Each structure stands twice: as C-alpha cells, then as structure tokens.
Amino acid sequence: MISIKSPREIEAMRKSGAIIAGMHIGLRDIIKPGISSWVIEDFCRDYIESHGAVAAQIGFEGYEYATCVSINEEICHGFPRKHVMLKNGDLVKVDTVVELDGAFSDSCWSYAVGEVSDEVQKLMDVTKKSLYMGIDQAVIGNRIGDIGAVIQHYTEDENGFGDVREFVGHGIGPTMHEDPSVPAYGEAGRGPRLKEGMTITIEPMINMGTWKADVSDPSGWLAVTEDGGWSCQYEHTLAITKDGPKILTSQDPEFDAKYL
C-alpha cells in the first residue's frame, strides 16, 4: 500500500533528512586516501547519534552497521571494513538511513578518493545528473515509469553506461522501505501515478559496463558488477507536492533551491 504523508509528516522527514545531509557534508573532509572504510562507519554513526537520531540500518534484516560503504566495482550493500584502505583514485559510495522521532530519510552519495580518472569523473557526473533528471519527473500526475525512463535513456542510450536493474528506489516513511518501488529504468507512462503527499527515494546505480549485478557474495549482502566495471550511486529522499518535487535530504541549498 502506498502511504500519503501530511505536511507535518513531511516536515518531520525533512528534519531527519537534514541529519543525513550534514553527515554527508562532513564526510567530504573524512574521505581521503589512507583511511579504512571503518573510519566512515565510525564518523557516520557518531554523527547520527550525536544529533539525537537513530542509525536505522542497524538491525534491519540482520544488518549490523550504520552505513553501507561500497567501493569501486561494489554496487551496494558493502560492509564497512577495518582492513580495507581507501586508495587515491577510488570511488566510494556511502548509504545510510536515519530515523528521527519516527521519521525516516535515506540518502547515498558518491565520493572521489583523492584524484580520480576522467572516466570515473564522467561516471559520477552522469549518475548525479541522472538523479536530478529523475527528480524533475516526480510531479503530480506523472507515473513511476517516467522517472526511470529518463534516467535509463540518459545513462545508457546517451552515455553508454549500465543502469542497474536488480536494486531500485522505494517509498519511505513511516518505515524504511514501502511501496511503490521506484526503478531507475523503465518505460514512460507505466507504473503507479504520483500523488501529492507521496514520499519516495530515487537512487540510480550506474555502472561503467554491464548493468548486471553479481549477488553471490557469501555475506548475502554485497552486490558487485558482473564484469568488474566500477559503479556509482546518488540518492535523495523527496516528497511529491503541489509545488513540485521537494528534496528532503539536500546538501546544497543553492544548487537545490528549486527543490526546497
């Protein structure tokens, strides 16, 4: 069932989202060559808890960490690891969910470690732009498929990357994962119609090569690209309103001004 949120509930999600945003902003100074991915986990857990919120991924279906930290060819759900050191040129994705007074928000961001190659920078730029192209489709009366169609056309047809199919965005609040599913691929004009008060995540995961994922890792969590190509992800939580899509996890009020 798709839940419709009141203005009060959306405002509560915006407060939760502000904590995620602040955490991601702080990571810009944390992520650098030579640190372990566990340093990211420590920082994020401390940031969330020190702001009076709950790191909602801990305990979700047995997951043990506040963050997913996925590096290079890892698409998503990578564990933070003390023995894995970040190197210059790496691409790291940090995903987390925050719960504040019953309100949930979800956001993933990608970070260049030191200086990345032109190819990696293009992947990051295209993935981030595709997120915002999807957000622009999140208006009352459009359908879920309109979001995925523009992302897929831009990332695959125009730029030759692979648009992951195995993992999708979702409704959110008052629980972490709700209907509807929000694929970053698909056909325009298909799927549930967007209505005022819906809150969803849009989270394209874009690969340098094939879109196909390998989910055979013994952990039961980690997904990597089937061909070893690197992967990038950006994700925002947003609300569908009569004034257009409103980003609830914005890190940049100037860049996101039209969505606030």
Residue 145 is part of a domain; what is its CATH number? 3.90.230.10
Is 77 annotated as contributing to ligand binding? yes
Q: Note down the domain range covering 89.
A: 7-255
Is 106 annotated as contributing to ligand binding? yes
Is 196 annotated as contributing to ligand binding? no
- Confidence at residue 128, expressed as pLDDT on a 0 to 100 scale: 98
Task: Sort 51 into a burial class: Cβ within 10 Å, 0-12 / 13-18 / 19+.
Answer: middle
- Confidence at residue 142, expressed as pLDDT on a 0 to 100 scale: 98
- Confidence at residue 207, expressed as pLDDT on a 0 to 100 scale: 98
In three-state secondary structure terms, 198 is coil
Task: Please tell me the distance from the alpha carbon of residue 104 to that of residue 9, in angstroms, as a whole number.
Answer: 10
AA letter at 52:
G
Is 177 annotated as contributing to ligand binding? yes
Please answer whether residues 114 and 88 qualify as being in contact, where contact means their C-beta atoms are separated by less than 8 angstroms.
Answer: yes
Asked if the structure places residue 167 within a domain, the reply is yes
Asked if the structure places residue 1 within a domain, the reply is no
Is 41 annotated as contributing to ligand binding? no
Asked if the structure places residue 260 within a domain, the reply is no
- Confidence at residue 51, expressed as pLDDT on a 0 to 100 scale: 98
144-152 and 118-136 helices cross at what angle (nearest 10)?
Answer: 160
Asked if the structure places residue 226 within a domain, the reply is yes
Is 24 annotated as contributing to ligand binding? no
In three-state secondary structure terms, 44 is helix
Q: What is the pLDDT along the chain (260 residues), one digit of tens a residue?
A: 899 999 999 999 999 999 999 999 999 999 999 999 999 999 999 999 999 999 999 999 999 999 999 999 999 999 999 999 999 999 999 999 999 999 999 999 999 999 999 999 999 999 999 999 999 999 999 999 999 999 999 999 999 999 999 999 999 998 999 999 999 999 999 999 999 999 999 999 999 999 999 999 999 999 999 999 999 999 999 999 999 999 999 999 999 999 99
Asked if the structure places residue 219 within a domain, the reply is yes
Whole-prediction pTM = 0.97
Quote the number of domains for the chain.
Answer: 1
Residues 6 or more apart in contact with residue 218 via CB below 8 angstroms: none
Asked if the structure places residue 2 within a domain, the reply is no
Asked if the structure places residue 90 within a domain, the reply is yes
Nearest to 203 by CA among 101, 123, 95: 95
